[in-house]
Amino acid sequence: MPFLLSLYTETRAQEMVSVGWSSEQQWDFVRQQFTAQHTDYQARYPKAAYDLLLLGDTPIGRLYVDRRTDEISILDITLLPEYRGQGHGTILLQELIKEAASLTLPIRLHVEPHNPARRLYTQLGFIPLTDNGLYVYMEHTPTSAFL
């Protein structure tokens, strides 16, 4: 849990710079948000796989996947900033695409509109389904490109 909290803190760092809160206020907020997210995921997706991503023995991220009979849902994929852009996420996604294709299932995820990972999802054949302003819901089907 300490690593996961640290990882979550990294994902919110840029946002926290602009709020004007003290370090203690930022920490309290991020810790509360992490706990709420973690509790929500566990309650809504009790059968999901909550995996810690390791490079050797070093934790570098997390991958939360809910495998259902009708889809594979990527709940969260997050890497520490220093491990982004090195192909780790691509490899993970390609393995999930292969798994989904072997089961003839779509993979679905959501991403913030301006998240740089959206470009990777598009390159791997994910297509946007809906955009509610906060998130773009994307899908990769067994018939999508780049299988």
Q: Are residues 36 and 52 in the same domain?
A: no
CA distances, 65 to each of 23, 48, 62, 132 (Å)? 32, 6, 10, 22
Q: Are residues 111 and 127 in the same domain?
A: yes
Rounded CA-CA distance 84/71 in Å is: 26
Q: Which two structure tokens, joined as six digits, stand for 141?
A: 């089907």
Q: Which long-range contacts (CB under 8 A, 24 or more apart) does 99-103 make?
A: 99/72, 100/72, 100/140, 100/142, 101/142, 101/147, 103/72
Q: What is the pTM of this model?
A: 0.89
Instruction: Indicate the SS3 state at residue 137.
Output: strand
Which tens digit of pLDDT belongs to each residue from 38-96?
999 999 999 999 999 999 999 999 999 999 999 999 999 999 999 999 999 999 999 99
Which tens digit of pLDDT belongs to each residue from 126-147?
999 999 989 999 999 987 554 4
Question: What's the Rg (C-alpha) of the chain?
Answer: 16
Domain that holds residue 23: 1-44
Q: Are residues 2 and 14 in the same domain?
A: yes
